[in-house]
């Protein structure tokens, strides 16, 4: 399927679906626990960045067009676009968000940590958060560093973000 077919020739849906190099994937709906963590992360980020005018936060399902020519459209669980780049947000997000958050599920862990990880890095996402509810850990990968750095946060440790340096959120708040 082409990007055009995916975006304009299919019906709008609130089901989660992605277009990966021309192939549509429609996984089943996530479990409640997964969505609860997604909501917590989105709320924590939005409560910090939006009152300060730092940018916009959104949650899936929302198409992020990383490569229209290659038909690569993903739907990260949570995303943040910095204020100076909000012009990439239209009906979809056209380009790499500044921060992408994926909450792991047993059925999507390999997809999130292998394929999506590589695409997010390749297409310019500055920071990738991998939230692991089973371990109650948040791994933050800073793709803007060379080489990329990965820090893992848990418990009362504050999550450190190079993209949102004023963020003051403890890892435990994500899983409370």
* pLDDT number for residue 38: 97
> In total, how many domains does the chain have?
1
Q: What is the CATH number of the domain that holds 116?
A: 3.90.1570.10
Percent of the chain with pLDDT over 70: 100
* pLDDT number for residue 148: 94
In a domain, residue 148? The reply is yes
Residue 63: pLDDT band (50, 70, 90) is: very high
Does residue 91 register a pLDDT over 90?
yes
Residue 73: pLDDT band (50, 70, 90) is: very high
Residue 124 structural domain: 32-61+75-175
In a domain, residue 16? The reply is no
In a domain, residue 156? The reply is yes
Residue-averaged pLDDT of the chain:
93
In a domain, residue 21? The reply is no
In a domain, residue 12? The reply is no
- Of 10 and 69, which is predicted with more confidence? 69
DSSP letters spanning the chain: --HHHHHHSS---SS--EEETTEEE-PPPPPHHHHHHHHHHHHHHHHHHTTTT-EEEEESS--EEEETTTTEEE--SEEEEEGGGGGGBSSSEES--SEEEEE--TTTHHIIIIIHHHHHHHTT-SEEEEEETTTTEEEEEETTSSS-EEEEEETTPBPP-SSSTT---BHHHHH-
In a domain, residue 100? The reply is yes
Note the pLDDT tens digit of each residue in 98-155.
999 999 988 788 888 889 999 999 999 999 999 999 999 999 999 999 999 999 999 9
């Amino acid at each position: 399927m082409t990007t055009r077919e995916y975006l304009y020739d299919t019906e709008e849906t609130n089901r989660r679906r992605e277009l990966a190099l021309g192939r549509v994937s429609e996984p089943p709906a996530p479990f409640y626990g997964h969505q609860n963590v997604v909501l917590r992360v989105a709320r924590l980020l939005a409560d910090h960045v939006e009152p300060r005018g730092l940018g916009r936060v959104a949650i899936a399902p929302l198409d992020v067009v990383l490569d229209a020519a290659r038909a690569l459209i993903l739907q990260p669980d949570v995303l943040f676009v910095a204020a100076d780049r909000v012009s990439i947000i239209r009906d979809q997000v056209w380009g790499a968000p500044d921060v992408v958050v994926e909450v792991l599920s047993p059925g999507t862990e390999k997809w999130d940590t292998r394929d999506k990880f590589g695409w997010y890095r390749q297409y310019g996402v500055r920071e990738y958060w991998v939230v692991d509810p089973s371990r109650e850990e948040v791994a933050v990968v800073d793709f803007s560093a060379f080489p990329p750095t990965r820090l893992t946060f848990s418990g009362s440790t504050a999550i450190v973000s190079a993209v949102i340096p004023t963020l003051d959120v403890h890892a435990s708040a994500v899983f409370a």
